[in-house]
Structure 1
Amino acid sequence: MDKLLDEDNIKINLPVKITYRVLEDVLQKKLVGEQIGMEDSRGTVKNYAEVLGANLGKSQEPNFDLTLNLKLKTLTTLFKNKEVTLLVHIKLGFDEVEQVIDVEEYELEGQSKSWFMDNSLETLANTLIYKKIKNKMKLDLKPHINEQLGKANKKLGDEMEAAPGVFLSGNVNILKVAEIIPGDSLLLILLEISAYGFVNVKEVKL
């Protein structure tokens, strides 16, 4: 009987919806005010642009999942204080083993001709902005999952009263993201949950 109680008797695939508006709010906090630049051989950092705004939505380009609309202010001598818009088309990557979401592929599209007046500046924009976006959009899910797993097991270990005289207990052994599905207005995240649990009836009220 004790062995039976230790075996996983609950297996659930739980869909979780996260709207792009929620993700956009997170990205704005990470990106707005950030300066895009690079360090030269002498260790001096030269900034080329500052992020003024960031909007996120479903990409209209084939083979891409999301489009990040960046509003930038240029900081170079040639294009001082010009406001430009860049669209970054993003294909999301997901490593199920490591539980990490990141940018797998991207494509940069300029909405201001002045930003792309020469090939060297376009190359610079691609390199620097890609590094910034890839770094800011990389999300390691393991710490968040482990935190929620600990909270859930603490509650289940202490017994949860589901109804008067009826208590739930058990343990969640597996909690992980199994798949990421981009939609028109949200990300659908499929959670895989494996646990054992049982109901302990301590009182029956007639």
Structure 2
Amino acid sequence: MENEYQKGIIVNIPVKIPFTALEKAMEAKINDTEEGGKSINDYAEVKWIWLEKNEALPYDITLGLRVKAKTFLFKNKEIELKIHLKFSFDRETQKFSLEKYKAVGENTSWIKDKLVQLILNTVLHKKMLSKSKQDLGHKLQEELAKINIKLRENKNPTKGVHVGAHMEKLSISHFLFERQAVYVYMNVLGEAELEITELPS
């Protein structure tokens, strides 16, 4: 047989991110106050934040908020606001961005429509929607460097065994939005070598 042995490891890994984890991150982001800026808490108390997937809509995911207004004109009025989000991902450049969104209030009353626009335009758009474009390739390179440091630090996982490993590439294949989670499909390319320095007796 003349089959040539090829060194290298190619691994495809689906990474599950539950909506609950994303909801906590979004809640912290929405409530955060930027230097010299406004927080959503200046306008309304966030009662509840959630994510949902509606197969009937031409969007990837929906962000829902239940808020209680604090401003003089809308004080103590509660509304439910949903923002339907559709994303795009370029596999070649590893750039992830918001393609389009649509905000919907729970009814069409003038007061609540104005409150929806106030929250959306002054807080959510500035803090989240306008910053949705991400260069994931750069972030993955930073994580790749950290992984390789850990691999170099742990070359002897057990007595008599020496492992040499190096990850050359870490990239994202695609995203899949399901009903309770987002799946990020990762591609890992690298090399590994195993050396037995002491045989068991």
Same fold (TM over 0.5): yes
Normalised by the length of structure 2, the TM-score is 0.76
Aligned length: 192
User: Residue 197 in 1 paired to residue 192 in 2?
Assistant: yes
Q: Is the 8 A contact 2:161 2:195 kept in 1?
A: yes
Q: Is the 8 A contact 1:93 1:101 kept in 2?
A: yes
- Aligned residue number for residue 104 of structure 2: 109
More strand per residue:
1
What is the CA-CA distance between 1:90 and the residue it aligns to? 1.0
Name which of 153, 160, 164 aligns with 2:148. Answer: 153
1-structure distance, mates of 2:45, 2:171: 34
After superposing the two structures, state which structure 1 stretch, 80-89 or 131-140, moved more: 131-140
Identity value in percent: 28
Q: Is the 8 A contact 1:115 1:122 kept in 2?
A: no
SS in 2 for 1:146: helix
2-structure distance, mates of 1:199, 1:106: 50
Name which of 26, 31, 43 aligns with 1:49. Answer: 43
Q: Is the 8 A contact 2:43 2:119 kept in 1?
A: no
- Aligned residue number for residue 162 of structure 2: 167
RMSD across aligned positions (CA) = 3.4
Q: Deviations over 1:157-184 (max 9, x none)?
A: 3452244311211311101112111111
After superposing the two structures, state which structure 1 stretch, 51-60 or 22-31, moved more: 51-60
- Residues 49 and 136 of structure 1, relative CA distance in 2, 3 Å threshold: farther
User: Residue 89 in 1 paired to residue 84 in 2?
Assistant: yes
1-structure distance, mates of 2:170, 2:131: 25
What is the CA-CA distance between 1:112 and the residue it aligns to? 4.0
Q: Which runs of 5+ in 1 are unaligned?
A: 40-46
Q: Is the 8 A contact 2:15 2:184 kept in 1?
A: yes
- Aligned residue number for residue 19 of structure 1: 18
